[in-house]
Structure 1
Amino acid sequence: MAGNFETRLQKLKSRRQGPQWVVKSEHSMDGKSGPVEESYQKRSTKTATTYTLGAMQEVDPAYTANSFAEGERVKNQLEKALDGVIPVEFDYQGSVPLNIHIKGVSDIDLLLLRKVFVIIDKTGPLANSPWYSDWEGKPGPSLLAELRSAAEAILPKAFPEAQVDISGSKAITISGGSLRREVDVIPSHWYDSSEYQRTQQKKDRGIYIFLKEDQSTMRNYPFLHMYHIEEKDKVTSGNTKKVIRLLKTLVADYEGSETIHLSSYDVASLVWHFDNHAINVPVWSELSLLWSTRVALADMIVNDQRTRLLITPDKTRKIIDKEVKFTSLKVLLAELDDLIAEVVKELNVGPFITQDIARRALLESFVPS
């Protein structure tokens, strides 16, 4: 069950702005000492409706900028210490650069990429050209193990008051001390796919991430995932990201006995398969996205065999690759239905609410922007 939406709304506000000391710090330029009122809070006086509108919106750009700023601080320290030792470059992946994060004080993924060494798709058009030369050094996992060890030694010295957690297999996590954000440092190197060799576009370039636990690597395409979500967001008037944030918020606020086993990546990938026309609505009709989202999720559950075949935007795996994820999809729909019921009550459509009445109420709703 969805629970108390007054409580959920307070959790939403706190998650978007952080504790009071964070609010003061992040907004010190304007001299305000109290919580900052966001624009979504001015659009409705109803609790569940305000919660819905807030869940869809991007967090304050000042918070996002500060996440990048802390990532840059970590980057600068690594770059300085590794200069002349190991050639590296940096990039970002995940929810923050894609702007689908739902926390103001959000952690950020910093890719620590070892240069010079690159794995190539040997079927690509440039594979046998002078564009690449044969590598005669250590293999990729060994090179990334060295890079990981170097980063583990550098970060505690660069940030002596911070906590540096080296237990994670994929990332070194640094937080606390002078850092206002948690930063995940991910040692990796490039993978030049056949498509990247053809297009030379960043979206088509993959990476190999080092897995410390078993001293191996795994390949993914973070920039291709981001590219496809961005493109869908453009053709849906920004509503793709709104729906992703909404569903991520429902996952974050779920209070049931079992966890909803859908990651941010899974949620974004599922929304990528939603019908563009259904979620391409004007800003004053944002509440109708509740119904469009419900229709899409319900269709995925009913057509389970088709849903189990859906792939991620970067085409690396099936989204519902574990049975627990399909079960979680049902739980997420139930959470959405609870929210819809509360919002429709606030729209004052009458004492008896059928599914058809709820549909019409949401599709015909108007919230000033």
Structure 2
Amino acid sequence: MATDYSKRISRVNARRNSGAVSFGESATTAQDSSILDSVTKGYQKKTRSSSFQYALVSMQEVDAQYTAISYREAERVAKQIDSGLQRRSTLVTVELQGSLPLNVHLRRVSDVDMLVAPTDYFVYDPHGPAASTYTASKSTAPATISGLRAECCTVIRSAFPAAKIDDSGAKCITVSEGSLLREIDVVPAVIYKTATYQRTQNSDDRGVQIYDKKSGKIITNYPFKVRSFINAKDDRTAGGCKKAIRLLKNMKEDSDSLIELSSFDIMSLVYAMPDADLVHTSYREGKVVSSLQNWFFTLAHDETILRSLDVVDGTRKIIQSTANIAGVSLMSDELNILLLRIAQELEPTVPTSYPAWRSRVESEFLI
């Protein structure tokens, strides 16, 4: 069945704009229509191709009002956790991680991820240059994180009695509904002072350790480094990096196929692209679409290159399973279909051979 990009535009706009209802938000049909028109009309003037309009709309950030509400709700939860734990003589720092602070979140798809870490406990690399200045704690990271998680649950239940609180997750407590307009994932953690951080004292060089209560394992990751690296690449590519990430996340959400790529996988696949392929001028945003199609076409046809790619923070390879490989192939198919449809809408007689329709699309993007 042919993909209907006109319908997809409506779904993308619903995810981008605050006119649609979510967790108690409300808006009139007239407001919805006004918001959608303001987003799409500029692109309707730029191109008559509905497929191209879909691509362009999908690259844009979620509207400012929705994002502001996300930050407001996160701050509400953070303040309650901070003050509630203080009353229990536990001091913590609370920081956001993931899609929201990077501004690559999707409405009704991306959760708000919140790290909660004790201020009086941390772990460190014993081989780092400052290791001799630290005093090892008698407590372990799993015990500390488990205790913090239990305290967070108690505080959240008291502060948000009408909310739905799910403590069954392996790594986080999910808080939703009640008076909250966003779903918040509270992730108890401890700060990991890496050898690099001990040398630089740059907060971006810190790691965090999270306890997976189902596997009983400690997981170390580097959300601050990821945020720094993605922001730097976005600056180098004139915004092309984050536009590419948003487009792929929207395409995954709209696909009729199950694409086994996480948000972090998608972010990492874009991060691995050459910067030059993502740089564009404000009136040539379509270059991002063309570059993505070419990149995923290459990866889908060269598994050696695909398997060699690291995630943003370098902690592992992007590809972890055959399902990931299939996910890249499916995303490549989605991008191939999108660009072919753009070419056909621009020129119905365009040949379906790859070089011909790609050339036609690229000429349109440079208008």
Q: Does TM, normalized by the shorter one, top 0.5?
A: yes
- Please show how residues 29-44 of structure 1 align to structure 2 within 5 Å: 32=31, 34-37=33-36, 38-44=38-44
Unaligned runs of 5+ in 1: none
Equivalent-residue separation in structure 2 for 1:336 and 1:5 (angstroms): 12
2:73 is equivalent to residue 102 of structure 1: no
Equivalent-residue separation in structure 2 for 1:40 and 1:57 (angstroms): 11
Provide closer, same or farther for how the CA distance between residues 363 and 39 of structure 1 changes in structure 2, counting only shifts above 3 A: same
RMSD: 2.3
For residue 237 of structure 1, what is the amino acid of its counterpart?
A
Equivalent-residue separation in structure 1 for 2:7 and 2:23 (angstroms): 20
Unaligned runs of 5+ in 2: none
Provide closer, same or farther for how the CA distance between residues 165 and 35 of structure 1 changes in structure 2, counting only shifts above 3 A: farther
Deviation of residue 104 (structure 1)? 6.3
2:157 is equivalent to residue 153 of structure 1: no
- Aligned position for 1:297: 296
Equivalent-residue separation in structure 2 for 1:214 and 1:275 (angstroms): 37
Aligned length: 361
2:248 is equivalent to residue 243 of structure 1: no
Deviation of residue 39 (structure 1)? 3.4
For residue 295 of structure 2, what is the amino acid of its counterpart?
A
- Residues 96 and 114 in structure 2, CA contact (< 8 A), matched pair in contact too: yes
- Residues 285 and 365 in structure 1, CA contact (< 8 A), matched pair in contact too: no
Deviation of residue 18 (structure 1)? 5.6
Residues 198-251 of structure 1 show CA distances to partners (whole Å, capped at 9, x for unaligned) of 111121100001222244421100111111111111111100111111111111
Identity percentage of aligned residues: 32
- Residues 18 and 65 in structure 2, CA contact (< 8 A), matched pair in contact too: no
TM norm structure 1: 0.91
- Please show how residues 34-183 of structure 1 align to structure 2 within 5 Å: 34-37=33-36, 38-44=38-44, 45-84=48-87, 85-103=89-107, 106-129=110-133, 132-135=134-137, 137-183=138-184
> Per the alignment, in what secondary structure is the counterpart of residue 210 of structure 1?
strand
Equivalent-residue separation in structure 2 for 1:48 and 1:182 (angstroms): 31
Provide closer, same or farther for how the CA distance between residues 233 and 2 of structure 1 changes in structure 2, counting only shifts above 3 A: farther
- Aligned position for 1:9: 9
- Aligned position for 1:365: 364
For residue 77 of structure 1, what is the amino acid of its counterpart?
Q
> Per the alignment, in what secondary structure is the counterpart of residue 125 of structure 1?
coil
Deviation of residue 366 (structure 1)? 4.6
- Please show how residues 192-211 of structure 1 align to structure 2 within 5 Å: 192-211=193-212
- Aligned position for 1:333: 332
For residue 324 of structure 1, what is the amino acid of its counterpart?
A
- Residues 344 and 362 in structure 1, CA contact (< 8 A), matched pair in contact too: yes
Deviation of residue 22 (structure 1)? 5.0
- Aligned position for 1:287: 286
- Residues 19 and 32 in structure 2, CA contact (< 8 A), matched pair in contact too: no
> Per the alignment, in what secondary structure is the counterpart of residue 317 of structure 1?
coil
